[in-house]
Amino acid sequence: MRKFAFSFLLAYVFLFASAAVSCHNGDPDYPTHDDIRYEYKIDLDGYELSRAYGSSVYEYSIPSVWDDKVNGQKPVVRIGSDSFASWRWLRDVSVPSTVRQIGDSAFSDLQHLEGVRFAEDCPIDKIGEYAFAYCTALKKIEVPANVESVGRQTYTYCEGACEVSFMKSNGASALKEISESAFYGCSGISSVTIPSGVVKIDRTAFANCYKLAKIDFESGSALEIIQDGAFSRCSKLSELKIPRGVRFIGRKILSGRGKNLVIKFEGTEAEWNGIAKDAEWDGGSDNEITMAYLGNE
C-alpha cells in the first residue's frame, strides 16, 4: 500500500511539474519569444502586445515583429494596458520604432525600472494614463516627439528622475497638453522647459515637485491655460516664465511656494492685468512674488 501511495505521489508531482514547465515554455495560448510568455491581439495595422510575463527579467528589448502563425508576420504597433504589470525586477526596457501607442498603466509601479529607451525615429503619438506612474527609480523622463498629450498621471511619483526631456522630430515636439498630475511628485526634477506647442497645463501637472527651481518655455510659446495648482508645493521654485499669450490662470497655481519667487511675464503689465485670473491664483502665501514684465523692456 505504501509503495502504491509513493508511486501515486511521484506521478502526481511529475505531472504537476510537467504542466508548469509546459505553461512557461510553449502553451499555445501564450506564445513564447526568448523564453518570455506573451499574449497578442491582432489589428488591421499589426499586433498589440497585450500582456507579457517575465517577472525575473532585468533588461529587455520589446520585439518589433510577431507572427501568430495565423495572420503572418506583422509589426508590433501597440503596448497594451497593464502589459508589463508582473515585471517587478525590470531595470531597463527598449521600445522599437514600430510601436505607436503605449496603453494605460503599461509599466506602472515597476519600482526598479531605471531606463526606458525609445528609437530616434520613434513614432509614438499616445502614452496612456499612469503608463509610468510610481516608477520611482526611473532616472530620466523622455517624452517622444510625436506625443500630443502627456496623459493623466503618466509619470506621477517618478521620484528618481532628475530630468524631463521632450524629444523632437525635425526640430519640434508635437506636444499640446500636459494633463492633470502628469508629473505630480517628480521630486528630483530641478528645471523644465516646456515645448512651444503646449496650449494647456492642467491642474496639479507639476505639483509636489519639491526640487523644481526653474520653469521655462520655448520661444514662441502657444500656452493659453494654466489650471489649478499646476505648480503648487514646488517649494524651491525661484523663477517662473509665463508666456505672453496666456489667457487664463487658475486657482492656487503657486500655493506652498518658497521665498524669492520671480515671475517673468513676457508681455506688459497692462497685458498681465488683462489675463483672467482666479482671485487666489497665487495661493495666498506670505512669501511675496516679484513680477518682471519683459514686454516693458
How is residue 269 annotated by DSSP?
H
Residue 200: CB atoms within 10 Å: 18
Query: What grid cell was written down for 156?
Result: 506621477
Give the helix ranges, DSSP H, for the chain: 2-24, 269-273
At 34 the pLDDT is 56
pTM of the model: 0.86
Rounded to the nearest 5°, which phi and psi values hold at 64?
Answer: -90, -20
**Rg of the Cα atoms in the chain:** 24
List of residues 6+ apart from 180 with CB closer than 8 A: 152, 153, 202, 203, 204, 205, 227
At 181 the pLDDT is 98
Instruction: Tell me the pairing of strands 248-249 and 225-226.
Output: parallel
Decide: 65 and 74 in contact? Cβ < 8 Å.
yes
Amino acid at 251: R
Domain ranges of the chain: 1-30
Residue ranges, the chain, pLDDT below 70: 1-35, 297
Tens of pLDDT, residue by residue over 37-67, are 889 999 889 999 999 888 788 999 999 999 9
At 287 the pLDDT is 77
* CA–CA separation, 172 and 95 (whole Å): 21
Query: What grid cell was written down for 189?
Result: 526634477
List of residues 6+ apart from 4 with CB closer than 8 A: none
**C-alpha to C-alpha distances, 137 to 6, 117, 190, 264, nearest whole angstrom:** 49, 15, 16, 33
* CA–CA separation, 188 and 230 (whole Å): 17
Residue 273 burial (CB < 10 Å; 0-12/13-18/19+)? exposed
DSSP track, 161-209: --EEEE--BTTB----EE-TTTTTT-TT--EEEE-TT--EE-TTTTTT-
**C-alpha to C-alpha distances, 21 to 8, 26, 27, 189, nearest whole angstrom:** 20, 8, 9, 45
How is residue 286 annotated by DSSP?
S
Q: What angle do CA 12, 14, 18 make, to 5 degrees?
A: 120
At 260 the pLDDT is 87
Decide: 124 and 118 in contact? Cβ < 8 Å.
yes
Decide: 140 and 167 in contact? Cβ < 8 Å.
no
The secondary element (H helix, E strand) that includes residue 43 is strand 36-43
